Amino acid sequence: MLRHGRPTKPTIGIPAYGLDGDNIRHGLCKNLGFSSFDRTENIRRVAEVSKLFADSGLITLSSFISPYHNDREEARRIHESDSLRFFEIYVSTPLEVCESRDPKSKSTETLIFSDKNDLDLYKKARAGGVKGFTGIDSIYEEPVNPDLVLNAAFTNVADCVQRVLQMLYEKDILPKKAMNQLCSSASIREHFLKNDSEKANLQKATQNSPKISLSLVDMQWLQVLAEGWATPLYGFMRERQYLQCLHYGQIFDLKKECKNSKGISKKDENTETSNDDSYSFFEEPISQSIPIVLPIDEKIKESLKAERNVEGSVVDKSLSKYVRLTYNNDLIAVLKDIEVYPHHKRERVHRQFATIDERHPTVKMIMESGDWLIGGDLKVFNRITYNDGLDQYPS
């Protein structure tokens, strides 16, 4: 994420620099080991360097394990004592995922930078050959109140970087013009899980989640989304994007919740705060005249309710956080942080086709579909194929 995020800022005129173990441990902190004292001193030195960079006008991205709460709080104090902004970002990732992604655990390419004995560090740590290894024989104190949490096991690098940029925009670090430039110049947004580890983790996390069996047409729309043909959508449309598309033929933003005339989330009208994630409005609206939605019936809607004491959707806590999407009994994808909203079918076909005559085959199909629509963020396990002799050709 550090490598992907750092080049983004110079392209919009904002200087940035990244600090990590490679450029700190081999120089400024080369005399430090990994004892509790040395780890604390390492983070203190990093914080002092970061403060100097920030004071010169740079955004400093510091990527370190930093296992101790007090060390992170001291880093914050060092910055804030000089009236410099400090944000703690928690990259929440299970140990087994960290191990699968660590090049020092298996990659021969690491030999360019490290001694061969550095390989299989996790294996050595479990055998007692490496002492003080975070997560194995040394504790990691999870952040109590971080400014941002990135669930990197289930979120790809590009989306993690986007969330960091979004946070910087919301905190008035990135100007609106720069954020609009980033949003409007976004690359094609595919929704495939990147590796076997991500797939296995998501399958495990959703094994007891409700499921929806897709029709062929649903599957075809899922392919459109998965391969990025509907960029910048994150999945099947939420109500907000659906109404923008239906009424204006455009997408204005990717916010997750609808607002009433007072700007209050319709699901949070009795609370002072909303759980909405505030994506920036695009510099220019994006043309989108066809709703990309997933209809469901009343029975499926009832099956989506979250179980007691189980984490629910960030949009509607009463709904399951995940829904498995299957086709011919095969797991194809997962919808995350779902929302369910009414499918006003007559309005939809009238606006889309200027007729409600069911002799029109698509009008008939829509009118016979479910009375509810489900939206959410899409995670797709593999490329969509149909075994029709055409799978070898790019879509």
pLDDT for 274: 45
Which residue's entry shows tokens 């040395």? 38
Q: Look at residue 354 and tell me whether its pLDDT is greater than 80.
A: yes
Report phi then psi at 170, rounded to 5.
Answer: -65, -30
Share of the chain above pLDDT 90, in %: 47
Lowest mean pLDDT among 121-125, 330-334, 356-360: 121-125
Q: Which fold has domain 2-92+142-184?
A: Rossmann fold (3.40.50)
Report phi then psi at 58, rounded to 5.
Answer: -90, 150
- Please tell me whether residue 251 adopts helix, strand or coil conformation: strand
Domain ranges of the chain: 2-92+142-184, 196-380
List residues bridging with 295 in a β-sheet.
Answer: 373
Spatial distance between the Cα atoms of 92 and 98, rounded to a whole number of angstroms: 10
pLDDT for 9: 52
pLDDT for 395: 55
Please give the DSSP secondary-structure letter assigned to residue 359. Answer: T
Residues 210-235: pLDDT tens digits? 999 999 999 999 999 999 889 889 99
Spatial distance between the Cα atoms of 301 and 136, rounded to a whole number of angstroms: 43
Lowest mean pLDDT among 91-105, 193-207, 305-319: 91-105
Alpha helices in the chain (DSSP H): 2-5, 8-11, 21-24, 36-55, 69-80, 95-101, 121-126, 157-170, 176-184, 196-205, 216-226, 239-248, 298-303, 345-353, 361-367
| Through-space distance between the first and last CA atoms of the chain, rounded to whole angstroms | 29
Q: Look at residue 118 and tell me whether its pLDDT is greater than 70.
A: no
Residues 271-312: pLDDT tens digits? 434 444 445 556 678 889 999 999 999 999 999 998 877 788
Identify the CATH assignment for 196-380 out of 3.40.250.10, 3.40.50.620, 3.90.1530.10, 3.10.400.10: 3.10.400.10
Band the pLDDT of 180: cuts 50, 70, 90: low
Band the pLDDT of 56: cuts 50, 70, 90: very high
16-20 vs 59-63, strand pairing mode = parallel
